[in-house]
Amino acid sequence: MTKTVTSRYDVVEHLRTPEEMAAYLDACLDEAHGDTALVVRALGNIARAIGMTQVARDAGLSRGSLYKAFSGDRHPGFDTIVKVIEALGLRLRVEAAMKD
């Protein structure tokens, strides 16, 4: 019997275009249901896909503070999230929720 070789899945490898990044973040926001850590991880994954150094520079933050903010151990402030979203070339939009 042959052994199956697997590798760890990393979503960053699949975030190649702004459209893919936006769709990924949108899906995470839809599925979060109050789990802010999920959204923070998604933003961190998108930042890694682009490059933390570039995102930090564009957001006006240090690379170290960006890594800390999206490490999963902390909850970045909304101001940091907004700066990073803008640096990622994304835009937040709000729409009315459909009531069940």
Question: Is residue 33 one of the residues assigned to a domain?
Answer: yes
Decide if 52 contacts 63 (C-beta within 8 A).
Answer: yes
- For residue 97, the model assigns a pLDDT of 79
Three-state SS at 97? coil
Q: Is there a contact between 11 and 46 (Cβ–Cβ < 8 Å)?
A: no
**Domain membership flag for residue 69:** yes
Residue 19 and residue 49 in contact, taking contact as beta carbons nearer than 8 Å: no
Q: Tokens representing 54?
A: 């570039």
How high is the pLDDT of residue 75? 86
Q: In tens digits, what is the pLDDT along the chain, a chain of 100 residues? A: 789 988 888 999 999 999 999 999 999 999 999 889 999 999 999 999 999 999 999 999 999 999 888 887 778 999 999 999 999 999 988 888 777 6
User: Which residues span the domain enclosing 20?
Assistant: 16-87
Q: What's the pLDDT at 7? A: 85
Q: Residue 15 has which token pair? A: 């975030």
User: Which helix or strand (DSSP H or E) is residue 84 part of?
Assistant: helix 78-87
Q: Is residue 83 part of a domain?
A: yes
The answer to whether position 100 is within a domain reads no
